[in-house]
Structure 1
């Protein structure tokens, strides 16, 4: 049963991370956005900055490469033909028994650096999702059934080339 709860939590986090956001609070973006390539860079920047909250032993291991997903069914009510960019890594080099402390350190980093908490499943599940208040990028951390930590980040919906139809 515990494995089922973790799988459900993982699906919730994944759907939250891959959901398309809006560029500016309350606006549907028909204007320029950053490009999908710049969004991929910013996804990585959010993850790398978060990693600074952890001990030096923490390292990233690719879990899956950069994903570009369609925003044709965008939840922000905006136009289709946009994409969201996401990436997920394993966090290696930390003992499993330090997962709670590691997630707490990330939480402290996020809340001190302009992120708002979207979902905090602790203590039942070591899963936490935040959104940066300035650029709407989302970052989440969770543990696998075997105790491995993973971190994901995703962009809001962007035009692939930065402009509609571009």
Structure 2
């Protein structure tokens, strides 16, 4: 069992990644919080890791973006992701403005998607982390 970043560090990155990515756009959209999860259980981890870890996520509406600029905004985010060591996991363009990426550095995932009404949402999700950065002691073990 490996050490991870802490839950607080994960929360900080889940906020910073969307803010930095949106700030790279011209003009930068206004972020409006859509959802925030500070400590969701990794009860079915895709990495087959141990229980007791959590993941965090943030999702924001990108406001003040004219719908006719959605494709341009998505392309700008792809450029930012590429420059910051993210790789594309799924890309539904040109059928839909929906892209999912993952950081090669820390395992965070991000995505941009367009609703049927043309609104864009941008999100970031951490990998599973130990709340304090270290594996929890096994029940009954001495501390």
| Matching residue of 2:22 | 51
Gaps (5+ residues) in structure 2? Answer: 138-143
> For residues 1-166 of structure 1, what are the structure 2 equivalents within 5 Å?
30-165=1-136
Larger radius of gyration: 2
The structure richer in helix per residue is 1
Q: 1:57 Cα deviation (Å)?
A: 4.4
Conservation of the 8 A alpha-carbon contact between 2:22 and 2:28 = no
Q: 1:53 Cα deviation (Å)?
A: 2.5
TM-score w.r.t. length of structure 1: 0.78
| Matching residue of 1:9 | none
Q: Which runs of 4+ in 1 moved over 2 A?
A: 65-68
The structure richer in strand per residue is 2
**Aligned residue pairs: how many?**
137
Q: 1:67 Cα deviation (Å)?
A: 4.1
Tell me which moved more, 91-100 or 47-56: 47-56
| Matching residue of 1:11 | none
TM-score w.r.t. length of structure 2: 0.90
Q: 1:94 Cα deviation (Å)?
A: 1.0
What is the alpha-carbon distance in structure 1 between the residues aligned to residue 28 and residue 111 of structure 2?
A: 20
What is the alpha-carbon distance in structure 2 between the residues aligned to residue 57 and residue 160 of structure 1?
A: 33
Gaps (5+ residues) in structure 1? Answer: 1-29
The CA RMSD over aligned residues, in Å, is: 1.3
